[in-house]
Amino acid sequence: MTPLFSLPLRLVAFSLWFAAEVVKSSYAVLRDVLTTGRRSRPRVVDMPLESELDGHVTLIASLITLTPGTLTLGVTRGGNGARHLAVHSMYHPDAASALADLRDMEKRMLHAFTWKGRS
Protein backbone atom coordinates (compact mmCIF):
# COMPACT_ATOMS: atom_id res chain seq x y z
CA MET A 1 0.00 0.00 0.00
CA THR A 2 1.45 3.38 -0.92
CA PRO A 3 2.03 5.83 1.92
CA LEU A 4 -0.61 8.26 0.64
CA PHE A 5 -3.31 5.58 0.62
CA SER A 6 -2.32 4.39 4.09
CA LEU A 7 -2.72 7.92 5.52
CA PRO A 8 -6.39 7.46 6.58
CA LEU A 9 -5.54 4.16 8.28
CA ARG A 10 -2.58 5.72 10.08
CA LEU A 11 -4.76 8.62 11.25
CA VAL A 12 -7.44 6.27 12.60
CA ALA A 13 -4.84 4.07 14.32
CA PHE A 14 -3.21 7.10 15.94
CA SER A 15 -6.58 8.49 17.05
CA LEU A 16 -7.46 5.19 18.73
CA TRP A 17 -4.04 4.98 20.39
CA PHE A 18 -4.29 8.59 21.62
CA ALA A 19 -7.82 8.04 22.97
CA ALA A 20 -6.54 5.04 24.95
CA GLU A 21 -3.68 7.17 26.32
CA VAL A 22 -6.12 9.87 27.42
CA VAL A 23 -8.26 7.28 29.21
CA LYS A 24 -5.19 5.77 30.96
CA SER A 25 -3.92 9.17 32.09
CA SER A 26 -7.38 10.26 33.17
CA TYR A 27 -7.56 7.17 35.35
CA ALA A 28 -4.19 8.01 36.95
CA VAL A 29 -5.32 11.57 37.74
CA LEU A 30 -8.72 10.42 39.03
CA ARG A 31 -7.12 7.74 41.23
CA ASP A 32 -4.75 10.33 42.69
CA VAL A 33 -7.61 12.74 43.42
CA LEU A 34 -9.93 10.14 44.98
CA THR A 35 -7.43 8.27 47.16
CA THR A 36 -5.37 9.35 50.12
CA GLY A 37 -1.71 10.08 49.63
CA ARG A 38 -0.02 11.41 46.53
CA ARG A 39 1.07 9.37 43.55
CA SER A 40 2.20 12.37 41.56
CA ARG A 41 5.85 13.18 40.96
CA PRO A 42 5.75 16.57 39.28
CA ARG A 43 8.70 17.55 37.10
CA VAL A 44 9.56 19.66 34.11
CA VAL A 45 11.47 17.96 31.29
CA ASP A 46 13.17 19.42 28.24
CA MET A 47 12.15 17.45 25.17
CA PRO A 48 14.19 17.86 21.95
CA LEU A 49 11.84 17.62 18.96
CA GLU A 50 12.16 15.66 15.76
CA SER A 51 9.31 17.76 14.36
CA GLU A 52 10.53 20.34 11.90
CA LEU A 53 7.33 21.91 10.55
CA ASP A 54 5.50 24.53 12.61
CA GLY A 55 2.27 22.56 12.25
CA HIS A 56 3.86 19.41 13.67
CA VAL A 57 5.36 21.32 16.60
CA THR A 58 1.97 22.87 17.33
CA LEU A 59 0.25 19.50 17.05
CA ILE A 60 2.61 17.64 19.40
CA ALA A 61 2.45 20.51 21.91
CA SER A 62 -1.35 20.39 21.78
CA LEU A 63 -1.51 16.60 22.08
CA ILE A 64 0.74 16.72 25.14
CA THR A 65 -1.43 19.38 26.75
CA LEU A 66 -4.62 17.42 25.96
CA THR A 67 -3.25 14.40 27.82
CA PRO A 68 -4.22 14.60 31.51
CA GLY A 69 -1.17 14.92 33.78
CA THR A 70 1.00 16.69 31.19
CA LEU A 71 1.23 20.30 30.07
CA THR A 72 3.36 21.97 27.42
CA LEU A 73 4.93 25.05 28.97
CA GLY A 74 6.68 26.44 25.92
CA VAL A 75 8.89 25.99 22.89
CA THR A 76 12.57 26.94 22.99
CA ARG A 77 15.53 26.65 20.65
CA GLY A 78 18.55 24.61 21.65
CA GLY A 79 22.15 25.59 20.99
CA ASN A 80 22.04 23.95 17.56
CA GLY A 81 18.81 25.72 16.61
CA ALA A 82 16.63 22.64 17.12
CA ARG A 83 13.32 23.16 18.89
CA HIS A 84 12.65 21.83 22.35
CA LEU A 85 9.46 21.62 24.37
CA ALA A 86 9.35 22.33 28.08
CA VAL A 87 6.81 19.82 29.40
CA HIS A 88 5.36 19.54 32.91
CA SER A 89 4.71 15.90 33.76
CA MET A 90 2.88 14.68 36.86
CA TYR A 91 2.91 10.88 36.84
CA HIS A 92 6.21 9.63 35.47
CA PRO A 93 8.60 8.08 38.01
CA ASP A 94 11.61 9.87 36.51
CA ALA A 95 12.63 12.24 33.72
CA ALA A 96 13.86 9.41 31.48
CA SER A 97 10.48 7.66 31.44
CA ALA A 98 8.70 10.96 30.83
CA LEU A 99 10.95 11.69 27.85
CA ALA A 100 10.53 8.15 26.51
CA ASP A 101 6.73 8.46 26.58
CA LEU A 102 6.80 11.93 25.03
CA ARG A 103 9.16 10.82 22.26
CA ASP A 104 6.94 7.81 21.59
CA MET A 105 3.95 10.12 21.21
CA GLU A 106 5.86 12.38 18.82
CA LYS A 107 7.07 9.40 16.76
CA ARG A 108 3.52 8.05 16.47
CA MET A 109 2.18 11.50 15.61
CA LEU A 110 4.76 12.00 12.85
CA HIS A 111 4.03 8.54 11.46
CA ALA A 112 0.30 9.30 11.35
CA PHE A 113 0.38 12.89 10.12
CA THR A 114 3.04 12.85 7.40
CA TRP A 115 2.43 11.91 3.77
CA LYS A 116 5.18 9.32 3.69
CA GLY A 117 4.46 7.96 7.15
CA ARG A 118 8.00 8.39 8.36
CA SER A 119 8.73 6.76 11.68
Residue 60: C-alpha distances to residues 3, 36, 40, 47, 51 (Å): 21, 33, 23, 11, 8
Q: How many CB atoms lie under 10 A from the CB of residue 113?
A: 18
Q: What is the pLDDT of residue 115?
A: 79
Q: What is the pLDDT of residue 37?
A: 81
Question: For the residues 73-82, what does the mean pLDDT come to?
Answer: 88
Question: For the residues 12-21, what does the mean pLDDT come to?
Answer: 97
Q: What is the pLDDT of residue 119?
A: 44
Question: For the residues 40-53, what does the mean pLDDT come to?
Answer: 92
Bridge partners (DSSP) listed for residue 83? 77
Q: Are 72 and 86 in contact (CB under 8 A)?
A: yes
Query: What is the residue-averaged pLDDT of the chain?
Result: 91
Question: For the residues 81-107, what does the mean pLDDT come to?
Answer: 95
Q: What is the pLDDT of residue 117?
A: 59
CATH architecture of structural domain 3-113: 2-Layer Sandwich (3.30)
